[in-house]
Amino acid sequence: MEYFLQQLINGLTLGSIYGLIAIGYTMVYGIIGMINFAHGDIFMIGAFISLIMFLVLIGLGLTFIPLALLIVMIVAMLFTAAWGWTVERIAYRPLRESFRLAPLITAIGMSIFLQNFVQIAQGARVKPLQPVVTGGYTIMEGNGFSVQLSNIQIIIMVLTVVLMAAFSWLIANTSLGRAQRACEQDRVMAGLLGVNVDRTISLTFVIGAALAAVAGLMFLLYYGVIDFYIGFVAGIKAFTAAVLGGIGSLPGAMLGGLIIGLIETFWSAYFTIEYKDVAAFSMLAIVLIFLPSGLLGKPEVEKV
């Protein structure tokens, strides 16, 4: 029981990170029907910016951890949001009305470009960070095993819930959210009714990139090591989570992220770790066979 509870905590933590990345995928797809395969690399850039900012603050002698975390998160979100806006403006907007395969090829090309850019700029070696948030609590003890809940795990899960609630409220109750929902239904009609479609799509990329930056910061704090390739792996997992939960649904993206994180963690704990990715992708295949639109997705209605 103790071992199961520990793996449950670990799985929810990992799933929260996947869920934050998956929200970016599902927001972009919901509005323009395009999979932004460079989103995982935006997450990677957010992790690197967070690492650089930590090193800068340490060099400046700032040792108050809550303030340092707040500064790093804000700076990472701003820089990564700028990256997201630039990617959308340069790589995706000119091809928005092109044939459907063109934006997909561009997204893959942008992903490769961002990977190699960071590899050249920061080097191919892994970049470590000493533990910033330490300490935790013992939840349960028994059979020679103690269940630990660390402070960083609490921060990741609480922050994920807060951000999920905040962005759900934003989409449901603000003018930007109404514009996003209008563009999701019909971009042409939304434009005719006064919605600035280009600005709405750009802001969607900016919001998704900012969330990816938070996920990158949490990944850095949780694992303490990053490299230029983490964006590809985490991006594929988050995309899987978005499809599993129902792409286009924010709660579905978070639910899918939690499921993928739990599957990976429990499979690694009770079976061989080499096949944890096979287990996650197999679950996706099974769900899509019986629920093609995902767990919380809605069937797409063709306009005729």
Find where tokens 């071992």 sit: 3
Residues 6+ apart with CB under 8 A from 180: 27, 30, 31, 171, 200, 204
Find where tokens 């470009």 sit: 113
Q: How far apart are CA 57 and CA 39, in angstroms?
A: 27
Give the whole-number percent of the chain exceeding pLDDT 90: 44
pLDDT for 49? 95
pLDDT for 278? 86
Q: How far apart are CA 101 and CA 37, in angstroms?
A: 13
Q: How many residues does the chain have?
A: 304
Q: How far apart are CA 168 and CA 289, in angstroms?
A: 28
pLDDT at 142 over 90: no
Range from 42-51, 223-232, 267-276 carrying the lowest mean pLDDT: 267-276
**Residue 251 CB-density burial (10 A; 0-12 exposed, 13-18 middle, 19+ buried):** middle
Helix (H, G, I), strand (E, B) or coil at 139: strand
Q: How sure is the predictor about 262, in pLDDT bands with cuts at 50, 70 and 90?
A: very high
Q: Over the range 266-284, which residues count as b (16 or more CB within 10 Å of their CB) and which as e?
A: bbbbeeeeeebbebbbebb
Q: How far apart are CA 264 and CA 277, in angstroms?
A: 7
Maximum Cα–Cα distance across the chain: 67
Comparison of pLDDT for 60 and 284, the residue scoring more: 60
Q: How far apart are CA 1 and CA 270, in angstroms?
A: 13
pLDDT for 301? 56
Q: Where is 293: in which H helix or E strand?
A: none
Segments making up each domain of the chain, as ranges = 23-231
Q: Where is 61: in which H helix or E strand?
A: none
28 contacts 205 by C-beta, under 8 angstroms:
yes
